[in-house]
């Protein structure tokens, strides 16, 4: 059994201020000299960038649809190692998940699987006693979810807060730990596609400091920490997701594209490759860096290539090195932004067209509306870099673009993808390249990571044979 102080900050719905309060709580804990580990419920790459900036530790996702509860708990225990307290940010409302009839994929399911105390954020604007009815409903929907406290957000005044606090504590029997006043200046900047680089450059530090100030002024941080420390110990699952895959000999080298244009990676995906024997080396397409010469395989993750399309199109050194890499038969796996980058071109919403790597015979068009959003289960239509035919894995899609094949081109789909929109063919698989819009979580099927490294090792052996 392992002690893991923790709490989950959930909301009654989207837009109630849970991200703002989560960041303020993280920053306030950090001010106290605590090592804080951030987590985000569900498949979200944006909020974790804020967590990472505030805590100085790489934030991680926890999800009970992409992963089994046991695998998710193992990821949490591993990820929180060395932290004094873990703060999990919920997704949407506490009970919102994959479907309206169960808690699967919801913050509530995470809380139950991790035996984690929940702090419920309630927007109390224009409410007094009614706030108690809201909280009571959340308590009674599933009593197994341990709601241990409430934070009242957007209160009109301290007097208003006292009314809300009295009502909730009398009717619900749990403490109201504090409040934040309505303050439009404390809302996070609009999370448009260009914001993440600003977060990474530290340009939000003043905002984080202000959020910490507000939380410390209105929230009982000592009591909040006591609730986290009171969480029961956790035990590792009896079987690990690492058990089914062998460590590969030879330490294949995997190049990973990583910069402001390409940085959507589940940390567990990269760590799993390392645990299976790979050595990871990083390079930046934005800086026009070539794929490292020693690389046996290449990963190009998701991100915002459309935001940097002009720069990426000018960086011929990187594009040529990727084309040579593919021509040499080395394995390449690209997700979402990486998939877009391998295409012929990207057309922005303003109609400008920028040439990309050019391997995949299709053009990407950016759109003002979401093209796809949601969980996906993919099943391979044939053997490829990651899958045996018929094998499946889970992940999610989230993009504003569509990839249109060139007229007359044959399209070797990678897999069928099943989600709320039904079953569709998705991705591109040809020889040593696998690419698609779906962000896969390797822990949902750790064999796909091992299979990719087997192809990397084979590529290294073939290259060694050429020079023998």
> Is residue 55 within 8 Å of residue 26, measured between CB atoms?
yes
Instruction: Give the distance from CA 66 to its chain's centroid.
Output: 12
- Nearest C-alpha neighbor of 257 from the set 216, 221, 217, 288: 288
* Catalytic residue annotation: 336
Contacts of 460 (CB under 8 A, 6+ apart): 250, 252, 253, 296
Q: How far apart are CA 99 and CA 296, in angstroms?
A: 41
Number of helices and strands (H, E) in the chain?
A: 14, 24
- Nearest C-alpha neighbor of 392 from the set 400, 401, 384: 384
Strands 401-405 and 428-430: unpaired
Q: How far apart are CA 352 and CA 341, in angstroms?
A: 15
- Nearest C-alpha neighbor of 156 from the set 193, 186, 127: 127
**C-alpha separations of 38 from 55, 83, 144, 351 in Å:** 7, 10, 24, 39
């Amino acid at each position: 059994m392992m002690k893991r102080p923790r709490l989950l900050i959930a909301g009654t719905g989207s837009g109630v201020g849970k991200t703002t309060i989560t960041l303020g709580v993280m920053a306030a804990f950090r001010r106290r000299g605590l090592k804080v580990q951030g987590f985000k419920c569900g498949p979200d790459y944006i909020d974790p960038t804020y967590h990472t900036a505030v805590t100085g530790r790489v934030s991680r996702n926890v999800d009970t649809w992409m992963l089994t509860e046991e695998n998710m708990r193992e990821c949490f225990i591993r990820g929180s190692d060395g932290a004094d307290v873990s703060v999990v940010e919920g997704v949407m409302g506490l009970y919102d998940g994959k479907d309206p009839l169960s808690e699967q994929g919801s913050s509530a399911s995470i809380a139950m699987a991790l035996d984690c105390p929940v702090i419920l954020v309630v927007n109390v604007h224009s409410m007094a006693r009614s706030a108690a009815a809201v909280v009571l409903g959340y308590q009674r929907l599933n009593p197994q979810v341990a709601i241990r406290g409430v934070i009242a957000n957007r209160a009109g005044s301290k007097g208003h807060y006292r009314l809300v606090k009295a009502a909730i504590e009398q009717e619900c029997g749990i403490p109201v730990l504090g409040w934040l006043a309505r303050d439009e200046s404390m809302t996070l900047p609009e999370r448009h596609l260009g914001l993440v680089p600003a977060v990474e450059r530290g340009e939000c530090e003043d905002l984080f400091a202000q959020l910490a100030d507000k939380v410390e002024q209105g929230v009982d941080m000592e009591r909040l920490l006591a609730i986290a420390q009171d969480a029961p110990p956790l035990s590792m699952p009896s079987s690990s997701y690492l058990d089914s895959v062998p460590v590969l000999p030879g330490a294949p080298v995997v190049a990973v594209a990583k910069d402001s244009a390409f940085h959507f990676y589940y940390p567990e995906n990269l760590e799993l490759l390392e645990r299976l024997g790979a050595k990871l080396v990083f390079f930046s397409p934005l800086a026009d860096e070539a794929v490292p010469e020693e690389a046996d395989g290449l990963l190009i993750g998701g991100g915002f290539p459309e935001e940097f399309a002009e720069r990426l199109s000018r960086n011929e050194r990187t594009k040529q090195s990727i084309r040579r890499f593919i021509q040499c038969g080395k394995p390449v796996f690209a997700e979402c932004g990486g998939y877009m980058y391998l295409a012929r071109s990207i057309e922005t919403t303003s109609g400008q067209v920028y040439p990309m790597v050019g391997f995949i015979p299709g053009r990407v068009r950016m759109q003002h509306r979401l093209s796809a959003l949601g969980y996906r289960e993919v099943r391979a239509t044939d053997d490829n870099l990651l899958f045996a035919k018929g094998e499946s894995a889970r992940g999610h899609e989230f993009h504003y673009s569509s990839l249109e094949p060139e007229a007359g081109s044959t399209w070797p789909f990678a897999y069928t993808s099943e989600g709320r929109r039904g079953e569709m063919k998705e991705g591109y698989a040809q020889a040593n390249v696998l690419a698609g819009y779906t962000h896969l979580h390797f822990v949902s099927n750790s064999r796909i990571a091992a299979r990719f490294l087997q192809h990397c090792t084979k590529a290294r052996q073939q290259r060694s044979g050429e020079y023998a």
